[in-house]
Amino acid sequence: MNALSTPPIHRVGVVGSGIMGIGIAELCAKAGLDVTVAVSSTASLVEGPKRLARSLDRGVSKGKVTPELRDAAFGRVAFTRELTDLADRQFVVEAVKEHEPLKLELFAALDKIVEDPDAILASNTSSIPIVRLARATTRPHQVVGVHFFNPVPALPLVELIPSVLTDHQTTERAQEFVTSALGKTAVVSPDRAGFLVNALLFPYLLSAIRMVEAGVATAEVIDQGMVLGCSHPMGPLKLADLIGLDTTVSIAEAMYQEFREPLYAPPPMLLRMVEGGLLGRKSGQGFYTYE
């Protein structure tokens, strides 16, 4: 594959219609791209378009999106339950649950389905080493991590994570797509659990959880301290709720498995909360209660 000779990316596939999947689909659609979102259930076929519409409507209400752009973007996104409908895509990014066996199965399937010999297969994983996902395919040189941040339409950063098997042309083409087509700032991160940003962020989040667990301070006081004292836009406990406490556990466990450093180990309190279904914003309750 020659990055200079391959056609521009116009057809994008997204696997998953959760917060991240819909955010990526919205971003691509607002950039004028043709987007197909593959979902795993009939319920998601209904909820996915509703989630996209709500997000676009919020953009209109905040004055960041015109009604015309909202309608045009919504019309560029198709939803399907058939993974085979991604066969003609030039760039496919998965945004499914942070569960390695699931992602490995998905990449093996996409490898057989996506027909374009120059297509990029990307993962929005927060922590799983890209080389493991790449080896599930027959084209590991075209697999790259493309890690967006939540909320996708608003946050400007994307981490690009090439593995030791990713060729330079794939990385170059992905970077061009992310920066020129999607208008994001890209940083190239190492292919290690947690990459760059989460390797810095998660010890901080987990430390805050341990402080709550030890009774040092409440979640509200810790968050207030970091927002008012350190100018953070959001405190660590509220941020963990936003990320999802189950996702926080998955990322922490992946980093602990790789580095075996105690600062990455998920605290027992966090594990019990997830076992009890307290997942943060997505479930309505975590360190805070949400309506």
SS3 sequence of 63-99: CCCCHHHHHHHHHCEEEECCHHHHCCCCEEEECCCCC
Measured distance CA(11)–CA(45) in Å, rounded: 20
The one catalytic residue among 17, 55, 127, 198: 198
The one catalytic residue among 26, 147, 163, 189: 147
Instruction: Compute the chain's Rg from CA coordinates.
Output: 19
* CB of 60 closer than 8 Å to CB of 67: yes
- CA distances to 61, 118, 191, 277, 282 from 160, rounded to whole Å, are 32, 18, 9, 32, 27
Which of 142, 145, 117 has the alpha carbon at shortest distance from 129? Answer: 145
Clarify whether 147 is annotated catalytic: yes
| Conformation bin of residue 121: beta by default, left when phi > 0, alpha when psi is -120 to 50 | beta
**Beta strand extents in 75-196 (DSSP E only):** 77-80, 91-94, 120-123, 143-148, 157-162, 185-188
The one catalytic residue among 17, 44, 123, 126: 126
Clarify whether 126 is annotated catalytic: yes
Q: Which two tokens stand for residue 94?
A: 């998965």
The one catalytic residue among 26, 94, 98, 159: 159
Residues catalogued as catalytic: 126, 147, 159, 198
